């Protein structure tokens, strides 16, 4: 199936403007590991503590300076160069770093070209799920930012990788925009009508439940409902079908869980709100794929080693019944380079900076997107674990300071 209408921001060259406002989004961006059992919560806390230790070790190894505490939002040149010394690969958020409201940020194309000219490997790491990587590549190139599809890792591509690995050949009901569905090429996507019929048959006991294992699992029950940015495709009928499938045992996969975002038309509800609605109605928890999931960052790191192989995200344990891990971090970890030598550049202090810190990455915050000096100051008041290692007005300044 596919979304009926164009995405909310399709009028702009890049088709989207993921410049989400601060207060609501900050709340949405907090790690929302919806853990049921107390044991799972304890494991999550332990992982967070281990991540903090790893980050401290990484900074020490890299000789990175302590986070800035002065009043100026951006770092002076010397401090910036010191903070970025030893960076050997770069992860780039997209919205707010190279594009804003669907338009290229001045200097972004040249900065990306400079990374390429210097031989510094980079990947775009974005929660965007309106477009396939091919679609994003085409639109970025159209805007003067030359990026190959293999240099892009999206929450959507990671979701498609997850479903291909976890439920090969099994029916999937995917709520996403038309171009985004290209990421699922070769997988068994069911139409709205098929999904509705399967939900009814399952409710009537005419087929095995979706979570079944063994020979009976080879039936046609929908294995998972994947929720991305469907825009106007989020109709009542589709959401109700998705609800019935999840209630019947299909796994609920959240491409991301952002609450709302800004398009050229203003504040716009995002797919995370629909994920939460389905969780609430069905009494099931979703599996989070995109940022701030640590596994999403690790999957991107793994592509540096694999030479651009599409990202893979840890799958939930086999045989889970939908009440298991609520975050991609609960599964197997991907391999990758030393995170201390990899820089994450982002405009969101939670989903980019704090989340990257949790996996030991170096971080650079740019003031060209949705968060600015006020948010940085608020972040400082909460404690330095959330602080970026470097702050610059834009990507150009970051790239110029790399050694």
Q: Which residues bind Mg ion (CB under 5 A)?
A: 93, 95-96, 347-348
> Residue for token digits 């594009």?
99
Least distance from Mg ion to the Cβ atom of residue 93, Å: 4
Identify which of residues 324 and 346 has a Cβ nearer to Mg ion in the complex.
346
Identify which of residues 95 and 329 has a Cβ nearer to Mg ion in the complex.
95
Least distance from Mg ion to the Cβ atom of residue 370, Å: 6
Least distance from Mg ion to the Cβ atom of residue 95, Å: 4
Least distance from Mg ion to the Cβ atom of residue 348, Å: 5
Identify which of residues 175 and 353 has a Cβ nearer to Mg ion in the complex.
353
Least distance from Mg ion to the Cβ atom of residue 300, Å: 15
Identify which of residues 315 and 391 has a Cβ nearer to Mg ion in the complex.
391
Residue nearest to Mg ion (CB): 96
Identify which of residues 93 and 279 has a Cβ nearer to Mg ion in the complex.
93
Neighbouring C-beta atoms of residue 261, cutoff 10 Å: 25
Identify which of residues 95 and 386 has a Cβ nearer to Mg ion in the complex.
95
Identify which of residues 229 and 347 has a Cβ nearer to Mg ion in the complex.
347
Quick one: three-class SS letters along the chain? CCCCCCCCCCCCCCCCCCCCCCHHHHHHHCCCCCCCCHHHHHHHHHHHHHHHHHHHHHHHHHCCCCCCCCCCCCCCHHHHHHHCCCCCEEEECCECCCEECCEECCCHHHHHHHHHHCCCCEEEEECCCCCCHHHHHHHHHHCCCCCCHHHEEEHHHHHHHHHHHHCCCCCEEEECCCHHHHHHCCCCECCHHHHHHHHHHHHCCCCCCCCCCCHHHHCCCCCEEEECCCHHHCCHHHHHHHHHHHHCCCEEEECCCCCEEEECCEEEECHHHHHHHHHHHHCCCCEECCCCCHHHHHHHHHHHHHCCCCCCCCCCCCCCCCCCCCEHHHCCCCCCCCHHHEEEEECCHHHHHHHHHCCCCEEEEECCCCCCHHHHHHHHHHCHHHCCCEEECCHHHHHHHCC
Identify which of residues 261 and 274 has a Cβ nearer to Mg ion in the complex.
261
């Amino acid at each position: 199936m596919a979304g009926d209408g164009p995405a909310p921001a399709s009028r702009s060259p890049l088709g989207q403007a993921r410049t989400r406002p601060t207060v609501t989004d900050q709340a949405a961006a907090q790690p929302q590991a919806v853990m049921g059992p107390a044991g799972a919560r304890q494991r999550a806390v332990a992982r967070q503590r281990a991540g903090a230790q790893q980050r401290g070790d990484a900074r020490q190894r890299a000789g990175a300076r302590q986070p800035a505490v002065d009043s100026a939002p951006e770092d002076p040149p010397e401090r910036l160069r010191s903070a970025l010394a030893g960076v050997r690969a770069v992860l780039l958020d997209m919205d707010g770093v190279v594009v804003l409201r669907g338009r290229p940020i001045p200097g972004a194309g040249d900065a990306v070209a400079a990374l390429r000219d210097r031989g510094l490997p980079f990947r775009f790491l974005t929660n965007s799920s309106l477009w396939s990587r091919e679609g994003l590549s085409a639109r970025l190139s159209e805007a003067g930012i030359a990026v190959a599809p293999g240099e892009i890792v999206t929450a959507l591509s990671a979701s498609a990788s997850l479903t291909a690995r976890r439920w090969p050949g099994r029916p999937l009901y995917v709520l996403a925009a038309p171009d985004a569905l290209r990421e699922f090429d070769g997988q068994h996507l069911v139409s709205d009508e098929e999904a509705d019929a399967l939900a009814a048959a399952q409710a009537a006991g005419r087929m095995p439940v979706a979570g079944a294992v063994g020979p009976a699992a080879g039936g046609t029950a929908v294995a998972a409902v994947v929720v991305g940015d469907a825009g106007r495709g989020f109709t009542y009928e589709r959401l109700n079908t998705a609800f019935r499938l999840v209630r019947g045992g299909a796994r609920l996969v959240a491409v991301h869980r952002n609450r709302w975002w800004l398009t050229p038309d203003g504040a716009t509800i995002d797919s995370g709100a629909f994920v939460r609605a389905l969780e609430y109605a069905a009494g099931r928890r979703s599996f989070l794929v995109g940022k701030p999931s640590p596994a999403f960052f690790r999957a991107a790191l793994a592509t540096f080693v694999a030479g651009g192989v599409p990202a893979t995200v840890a799958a939930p344990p086999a045989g889970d019944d939908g009440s298991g891990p609520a975050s991609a971090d609960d599964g197997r970890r991907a391999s990758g380079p030393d995170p201390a030598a990899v820089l994450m550049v982002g405009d969101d202090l939670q989903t980019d900076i704090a989340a990257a810190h949790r996996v030991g990455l170096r971080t650079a915050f740019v003031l060209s997107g949705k968060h600015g000096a006020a948010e940085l100051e608020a972040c400082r008041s909460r404690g330095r674990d959330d602080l970026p290692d470097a702050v610059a007005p834009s990507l150009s300044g970051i790239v110029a300071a790399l050694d």
